[in-house]
Structure 1
Amino acid sequence: MNAPAENAAQKWSDVVEPGEKIPPLYAKDKLLFPVHEELRPSGWFSTFLSSGWEQLVDGHPKYGSDSGAFGQRLGAAALRDLSMRTFSDGMLPALLREDPRYFRKQEGSVRQRAVYAASRVFITQRDNGSSGFNNSVVFGHGMASALTRAYYPQPSANTSVVFQTWGYSLLGEAAGNLWAEFWPDVRAKIFHKHRGPQP
């Protein structure tokens, strides 16, 4: 991979490794960041997962439990996830000068790393390298959750469901951070195991 292509890949990656030299994200880049997230196959994983769970337990949004309901839930989840990414990873980071990427800890005990990953829901890195409250995620998810009242069916278009959606979305963000923190280690162990000893 040549240098420009490598820099582009690093720029649009949503996970930053410790010590990795990455290109900065300017305001215009942040506005495009959600588009790159949507184009990644992994970006749709949470959409299908949440739709499947809502279909299984007949949760919100209340579309029923027949086969057509899953398609409606999938569409609503896609719109919800897109709006969350637009607010949390695009518009608000651009306005508030916060970095939407996850910075891996990689070092320390499992507990330390797990606490760190979960805490990134509320703590983020700013463009100047300092840390502060993660306004983008907390309020961006809140804004996207409030927007569900415009397209969720009754009886799901209400304040109670908005706050429930907001809470679950922050839990989902924490789960995503935990995945980003630990999956590279698991993947490396699996790959090393299947590769076998080197001669």
Structure 2
Amino acid sequence: MPGSITGTIVDPTGAAVAGARVRISHGDQSAEQEALSGDDGQYSLPNVTPGPFQLTITLVGFTTQASSGILRSGENYTVPQIAMPLATAVTEVRVVPSRVEVAEDQIKAQEKQRVLGVVPNFYVSYDHHAVPLAPKQKFELAWKTTVDPVSFGVTGAIAGIQQAQNDFSGYGQGAQGYGKRFGASYANFVASTYIGGAILPSLLKQDPRYFYKGAGSKRSRVLYAIANSVICKGDNGHWQANYSSILGSLAAGGISNLYYPAKNRDGAELTFENTLIGISESAAVNLLQEFFIRKLTRNIPNYEPVSP
């Protein structure tokens, strides 16, 4: 003889839950039945086949609940009160890093690049599509370069060579002469790095880095490396004349006249000549970067070479 099943649905506070769908199943013994809870939270399932049953209670906004029991023939079975917890809200939050944050991660990786694990190789990006640097990051890269211990060591070596050759003879010899040469050489390095690598690139919105090509024919890579002595990437991603580097060399040469001995100061003509020499040196360094230095540089991020 069929029986009936009744019960009440409440929320975590004990308040009645209306509209909850109560579905009863008996496995494969009979068809499923269902009912909705009323305003008082109560539900009723009449004419239920006796035997084991499973209740499933669902309602949007609440966690699905289940209850089971055994209905005897002709029994009016009352299910213990069922409390439905509120469903945990699932919110998808997609965090997209800003361009500045992406660039920060990229230059942090670049600052680990060292030739033979020693000599800084910070101003080279092996990601041809690297995000442009913000002005603050351009100054950060210049700062990291100028205060690196290796930079002081190289400056000391240059000053030693100059002293041995009696370059800038107005400085004299001895410890005092060496100190002046060291100071002048370091001042040149700092001026050219900050002016050509941070100040002008920030003002002119240009990227001071060399972007490694690494793909294509040898001829295309040679031409690319040489061209990058006079062109650079703008912060807009387009190639343009490298005013930052060229004007930076001129400015650094002019500033050096403030501290070189009077008899060793360059005139305007020599300053321009040195700028042209600097462009040639930049082309030579770019060729080394393109074909040799990458093989000797450690801690390079794993980027695929991409033709521009």
Q: TM-score, normalised by structure 2?
A: 0.51
Q: Structure 1 168/117 Cα, relative in aligned 2: closer, same or farther at 3 Å?
A: same
Q: Structure 1 140/29 Cα, relative in aligned 2: closer, same or farther at 3 Å?
A: same
Computed over aligned residues only, the root mean square deviation of the Cα atoms, in angstroms, reads: 3.0
C-alpha distance in structure 1 between counterparts of 2:279 and 2:152, whole Å = 17
Match of 1:176 in 2: 285
2:254 equivalent among 102, 125, 146: 146
Give the Å deviation of 1:40.
Answer: 3.0
Between Structure 1 and Structure 2, the one with more helix by share is 1
Match of 2:12 in 1: none
Report Cα offsets for 1:6-52 as digits up to 9, x if no partner. 54513654211144x53431122223331121133454465345434
3-state SS of the aligned residue for 2:141?
A: helix
Report Cα offsets for 1:64-115 as digits up to 9, x if no partner. 4555433321210100110011110011000101001110111245554344
Whether the 8 Å contact between 1:148 and 1:162 is mirrored in structure 2 is no
Q: Structure 1 153/90 Cα, relative in aligned 2: closer, same or farther at 3 Å?
A: same
C-alpha distance in structure 1 between counterparts of 2:297 and 2:138, whole Å = 29
Match of 1:85 in 2: 193
Whether the 8 Å contact between 2:225 and 2:287 is mirrored in structure 1 is yes
Match of 2:272 in 1: 163
Alignment of 1:49-88 (within 5 A): 50-60=158-168, 62-64=170-172, 66=174, 68-88=176-196
* 2:239 pairs with 1:131: yes
Q: Percent sequence identity over matched residues?
A: 26
Q: Structure 1 114/170 Cα, relative in aligned 2: closer, same or farther at 3 Å?
A: same
| Structure with bigger RCO (C-alpha 8 Å, 6+ apart) | 1
C-alpha distance in structure 1 between counterparts of 2:203 and 2:224, whole Å = 25
C-alpha distance in structure 1 between counterparts of 2:256 and 2:152, whole Å = 18
3-state SS of the aligned residue for 2:207?
A: coil
* 2:295 pairs with 1:185: yes
In structure 1, stretches of 5+ residues that fail to align are 189-199
Whether the 8 Å contact between 1:61 and 1:73 is mirrored in structure 2 is no
Q: Structure 1 138/95 Cα, relative in aligned 2: closer, same or farther at 3 Å?
A: same
Amino acid of the residue matched to residue 157 of structure 1?
Answer: R
Give the Å deviation of 1:118.
Answer: 3.0
C-alpha distance in structure 2 between counterparts of 1:68 and 1:26, whole Å = 40
Amino acid of the residue matched to residue 123 of structure 2?
Answer: D
**Equivalences, count:** 185
C-alpha distance in structure 1 between counterparts of 2:297 and 2:237, whole Å = 29
Match of 1:9 in 2: 108
Match of 2:78 in 1: none
Report Cα offsets for 1:127-158 as digits up to 9, x if no partner. 11110110000001100100111111121123
Whether the 8 Å contact between 2:139 and 2:198 is mirrored in structure 1 is yes
Between Structure 1 and Structure 2, the one with more strand by share is 2
C-alpha distance in structure 2 between counterparts of 1:105 and 1:153, whole Å = 42
C-alpha distance in structure 2 between counterparts of 1:32 and 1:66, whole Å = 35
Q: TM-score, normalised by structure 1?
A: 0.75
